[in-house]
C-alpha cells in the first residue's frame, strides 16, 4: 500500500510539473506573439507641451521608424536624446495600446540674456545657459553687470560669486511668477546688495534677497495703481519695506 501511494504521489508531482511547464510555455508563447505582432507597431504619435521646439525635431529624436514596436520602445534612450536639446527640461511617455504613443515635453523658460563676446547667452529661470545667439528676437530683460569667465551650454552659468547669482535667479523666478518678466527691460546685478530692476523706463532698487517676494508684490501693486509708471524715467527705493515710497524722477 505504501509503495502504491509513493508511486501515486510521484505521478501527481510529475503531472503538476508538467502543467506548470505547459502554462509557462503558453505564457511565453503569448508574450512572444504580443512582442512581435505588427498589431502593436507604433501607428500614432501625439506630442504635447512644446512651443519652441518643433514637433519635427522631437519626432526625429524619438528615432521611431516604420515597424517600431510600442512595447519595445526604449523610453530611457528616447528621453536622453530629446533632452539633449537644451530647451527641453524633461519628457514623459505614455503608451496606449495597441499603437499610440503620447510624448509630453516640459520646455525650459527663457528668462533673461547676457552679452558675451559680441553675442548673447540666453538663460532660463535657474541661470542655465540654454541658447547662444548673435541676435535677439525675444522680449527678455538683459542682465547688466553679471561677471563670468566661461560657460557651457545646458549648464548653470559659472560666476565668481555663486551666492550673488542665486539672488538674481530667485528674483527672476519671482518676476516670472508674478507675470512681470515681459515688462522688465533690464536688470543691473553688478551689486548683489543693490539690484536694480527696470520696468520699462522706471528703475526699482530692490536691494538684496531679503523680503524679495514682498518687494516684487509691491512693484506689482505700484504698477496696478499707476499704469503709466513704467513710462516715466525715474527710480524708487525698495531696499526697505515701508508704507510710503518716494519716486525720484530722472532727467
C-alpha neighbours within 13 Å on the C-beta side of residue 192 = 16
Contacts with 129 (C-beta within 8 Å, 6 or more apart), sequence order: 86, 121, 122, 123, 151, 152, 153, 154, 155, 156, 157
- Mind listing the pLDDT tens digit for each residue in 101-121? 999 999 999 999 999 888 999
From CA 111, how far away is CA 181, in angstroms rounded? Answer: 7
| Residue 96 confidence class, pLDDT cut points 50, 70, 90 | very high
- Mind listing the pLDDT tens digit for each residue in 42-55? 999 999 999 999 99
SS3 of 94, please? Answer: strand
pTM value is 0.77
- Spatial CA neighbour of 128 closest among 106, 162, 157, 86: 157
- Of the chain, the percentage scoring pLDDT greater than 70 comes to 84
From CA 185, how far away is CA 203, in angstroms rounded? Answer: 10
Average pLDDT over residues 95-103: 93
176 and 109 in contact (C-beta within 8 Å)?
A: yes
Q: Is residue 250 pLDDT above 80, yes or no? A: no
pLDDT recorded at residue 164: 82
What is the grid cell recorded at 23?
502554462
218 and 236 in contact (C-beta within 8 Å)?
A: no
Instruction: Decide: residue 219, CB within 10 A, 0-12 exposed, 13-18 middle, 19+ buried.
Output: buried
Q: Which domains does the chain have, with CATH numbers?
A: 38-107 (3.10.20.310), 110-249 (3.40.50)
For Cα atoms 131, 132, 135, give the angle at the middle one, nearest 5 degrees: 115
- Mind listing the pLDDT tens digit for each residue in 188-208? 988 888 999 999 888 999 999
Beta strands of 86-201 (E only): which ranges? Answer: 88-96, 100-107, 110-116, 119-124, 129-133, 142-144, 184-188, 195-199
Amino acid at each position: 500500500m505504501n509503495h502504491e501511494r509513493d508511486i501515486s504521489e510521484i505521478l501527481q508531482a510529475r503531472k503538476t510539473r508538467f502543467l506548470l511547464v505547459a502554462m509557462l510555455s503558453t505564457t511565453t508563447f503569448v508574450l512572444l506573439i504580443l512582442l512581435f505582432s505588427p498589431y502593436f507597431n507604433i501607428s500614432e504619435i501625439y506630442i504635447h507641451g512644446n512651443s519652441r521646439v518643433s514637433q519635427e525635431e522631437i519626432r526625429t529624436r524619438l528615432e521611431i521608424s516604420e515597424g517600431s514596436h510600442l512595447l519595445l520602445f526604449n523610453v530611457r534612450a528616447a528621453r536622453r536624446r530629446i533632452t539633449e536639446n537644451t530647451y527641453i527640461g524633461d519628457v514623459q511617455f505614455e503608451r496606449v495600446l495597441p499603437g499610440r504613443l503620447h510624448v509630453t515635453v516640459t520646455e525650459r523658460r527663457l528668462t533673461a540674456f547676457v552679452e558675451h563676446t559680441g553675442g548673447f547667452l540666453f538663460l532660463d529661470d535657474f541661470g542655465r545657459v540654454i541658447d547662444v545667439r548673435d541676435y535677439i528676437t525675444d522680449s527678455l530683460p538683459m542682465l547688466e553687470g553679471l561677471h563670468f569667465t566661461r560657460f557651457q551650454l545646458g549648464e548653470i552659468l559659472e560666476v565668481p560669486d555663486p551666492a550673488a547669482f542665486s539672488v538674481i535667479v530667485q528674483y527672476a523666478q519671482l518676476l516670472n511668477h508674478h507675470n512681470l518678466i515681459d515688462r522688465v527691460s533690464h536688470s543691473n546685478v553688478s551689486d548683489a546688495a543693490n539690484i536694480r530692476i527696470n520696468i520699462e523706463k522706471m528703475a526699482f532698487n530692490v536691494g538684496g534677497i531679503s523680503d524679495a517676494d514682498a518687494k516684487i508684490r509691491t512693484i506689482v501693486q505700484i504698477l496696478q495703481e499707476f499704469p503709466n509708471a513704467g513710462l516715466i524715467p525715474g527710480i524708487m527705493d525698495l531696499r526697505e519695506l515701508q508704507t510710503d515710497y518716494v519716486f525720484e524722477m530722472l532727467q
